[in-house]
Chain A
Amino acid sequence: MDPILVVALVVSLALFFDFTNGFHDTANAMATPIATGALKPRVAVAIAALMNLVGAFLSTAVAKTISVDLINEGVNLGAEMVFAGLTGAIIWNLTTWFLGLPSSSSHALFGGLIGAAMAYAGVAAVNFPKVVEKVLIPALLAPLIAGIAAWLATRLAYLITARSQEQRKKTGIGTGRSNFKIGQVFSSSLVALSHGTNDAQKTMGVITLVLVSSGFQSSGDHIQLWVILSAAAAIAIGTYSGGWRIIKTMGSGLAEIKPPQGFASETATGVTILASSNLGFALSTTQVASGSVIGSGLGRKGGQVRWSKAGQIVTGWFLTLPAAGLVGAASAYITMMGPFGLLADALVTVAIVAGIFWVSRRNRIGHHNVLSEVEGASEIIASPRQVRAAAGKAAKAAKAAKGNSKSEKNGKGTAK
Chain B
Amino acid sequence: MINWQSFLLVALASIGFTTLVVSLFSFGMRLLTNSKHALLSAKKGKASAIRSEALNRFGAYGLFALCAFALIYGIYLIVPYFHI
Which residue numbers of A lie inside 8 Å of B, CB to CB?
Answer: 58-61, 129, 132-133, 137-138, 141-142, 145-146, 148-150, 152-154, 156-157, 160-161, 163, 171, 173-177, 179-180, 183, 186, 190, 193, 260, 263-264, 267-268, 271-272, 274-279, 281
Contact = CB atoms under 8 A, between A and B. Distances in A.
Nearest to A133: B2
Contacts of B71: 186, 190
A274 B17 CA distance: 11
B22 A267 contact: yes
Interface string B13-51: 111011101110111011011001100100000000000
Contacts, number: 119
B14 A160 contact: no
Given A161-B33, A180-B29, A278-B78, A153 B14 contact: no
B7 A141 contact: yes
A133 B3 contact: yes
Contacts of A163: 33
A173 B1 CA distance: 57
A180 B36 CA distance: 16
14 contacts: A129-B2, A132-B2, A142-B10, A145-B14, A149-B19, A160-B23, A173-B33, A176-B32, A176-B33, A176-B36, A260-B26, A263-B25, A271-B14, A275-B17
B22 A263 contact: yes
B65 interface: no
Nearest to A296: B22
B26 A156 contact: yes
A177 B15 contact: no
Contacts of A179: 29, 32
B19 A183 contact: no
Given A145-B15, A157-B26, A271-B17, A276 B32 contact: no
B75 interface: yes
Given A157-B23, A160-B26, 20 more contacts: A59-B80, A132-B2, A133-B3, A141-B10, A145-B10, A145-B14, A150-B18, A156-B19, A160-B30, A161-B30, A171-B37, A174-B33, A180-B29, A186-B68, A264-B22, A271-B18, A274-B75, A276-B10, A279-B9, A281-B10
A161 B26 contact: yes
The 10 closest A-B pairs by CB, nearest first: A160-B26, A153-B22, A149-B18, A278-B78, A176-B33, A272-B14, A149-B15, A268-B18, A157-B26, A275-B10
A294 B33 CA distance: 28
B30 A176 contact: yes
A173 B36 contact: yes
A71 B80 CA distance: 25
B10 to A, nearest CB: 5
Given A129-B2, A277-B78, A272 B26 contact: no
Contacts of B68: 186
Interface in B44-82: 68, 71, 74-75, 78-81
Contacts of A277: 78
A416 B7 CA distance: 37
A61 B19 CA distance: 26
Contacts of A190: 71
Contact of B21 (A141, A177, A267): A267
Of the candidates A137, A163, A183, the one having the most CB atoms from chain B within 10 angstroms of its own CB is: A183
A142 B22 CA distance: 19
B37 A173 contact: yes
A108 to B, nearest CB: 23
Contacts of B23: 153, 156-157, 160
B82 to A, nearest CB: 10
A57 to B, nearest CB: 8
A126 to B, nearest CB: 16
